[in-house]
């Protein structure tokens, strides 16, 4: 097993910079940028062109098949406010929810009273139990391929704001505060990506 594989965790801390950015082998920068953006566009276009629930289901569960480290090699080094950067964060978010649904549920439930409008945008049912967390995050990713991508990004951003508020309220210590801030920063980046997609500027 290579050193890069050792450094690419299957369950990243949600969402430290190390988990989001420090992945994958070294590439020629120009080639890496080209491959990242081309694969992100191809994935979105393939899902939309297929208009097939079975295909959409496979794309939503892509990480289950190829592993998060594979996507990390493709997308994790791209800016947060780009299409590959946004897709990378959506898949990391899904991986966290599916691997730690109780934690996701606890953080989300605690944040609802501080961020009611965001809870409504995220579209999670109440009570937001572990199964509901997995369902809503899959719905968000499904929207990337068969709905309005900007809406999907806005739902993910709203979900992150609720989680961040809940984590900030229930956690103690500098590390927990930093993780809550990282989730909030992700929400802001996803919101910007939604705007960029609507204006045709999300590359």
Could you give the angle at the alpha carbon of 8 between the alpha carbons of 64 and 133, nearest 5°? 45
pLDDT tens, position by position, 6-30: 444 444 456 555 555 555 555 467 8
Q: Is residue 70 part of a domain?
A: yes
Domain with 85, as residue range(s), is: 3-198
Pairwise CA distance, residues 173 & 52, whole Å? 46
Q: Is residue 24 part of a domain?
A: yes
pLDDT of amino acid 30: 81
Q: Is residue 182 part of a domain?
A: yes
Residue 129, sorted as left (phi over 0), alpha (psi -120 to 50) or beta, turns out to be beta
pLDDT tens, position by position, 166-181: 999 988 777 878 999 9
Three-state DSSP at 171 gives coil
Q: Is residue 59 part of a domain?
A: yes
The neighbour count for residue 42, using CB atoms within 10 Å, is 10
Pairwise CA distance, residues 167 & 51, whole Å? 37
pLDDT of amino acid 174: 79
pLDDT of amino acid 172: 79
Pairwise CA distance, residues 35 & 71, whole Å? 11
Burial group, residue 67, by CB count within 10 angstroms (0-12, 13-18, 19+): middle
Please state the domain count of the chain. 1
Q: Is residue 141 part of a domain?
A: yes
pLDDT tens, position by position, 68-80: 999 999 999 999 9
Q: Is residue 110 part of a domain?
A: yes
Whether the ω angle into residue 169 lies within 30 degrees of 0, i.e. cis, is: no
Pairwise CA distance, residues 125 & 180, whole Å? 22
Q: Is residue 167 part of a domain?
A: yes
Q: Which of 3-12, 27-36, 144-153, 180-189 has the lowest mean pLDDT?
A: 3-12
């Amino acid at each position: 097993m290579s050193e890069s594989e050792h450094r690419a965790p299957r369950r990243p801390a949600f969402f430290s910079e190390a988990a989001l950015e420090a992945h994958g082998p070294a590439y020629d920068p120009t080639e890496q940028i080209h491959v990242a953006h081309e694969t992100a566009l191809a994935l979105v276009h393939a899902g939309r062109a297929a208009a097939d629930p079975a295909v959409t289901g496979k794309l939503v569960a892509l990480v289950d098949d190829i592993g998060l480290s594979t996507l990390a090699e493709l997308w994790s080094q791209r800016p947060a406010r780009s299409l590959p950067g946004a897709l990378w964060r959506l898949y990391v978010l899904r991986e966290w929810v599916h691997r730690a649904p109780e934690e996701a549920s606890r953080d989300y439930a605690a944040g609802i009273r501080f961020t009611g409008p965001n809870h409504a945008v995220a579209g999670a049912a109440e009570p937001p139990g572990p199964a509901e967390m997995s369902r809503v995050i899959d719905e968000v990713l499904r929207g990337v391929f068969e709905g309005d991508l900007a809406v999907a990004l806005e739902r993910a951003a709203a979900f992150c704001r609720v989680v961040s508020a809940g984590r900030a309220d229930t956690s103690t210590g500098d590390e927990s505060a930093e993780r809550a801030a990282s989730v909030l920063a992700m929400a802001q980046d996803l919101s910007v990506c939604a705007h960029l997609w609507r204006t045709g500027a999300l590359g």
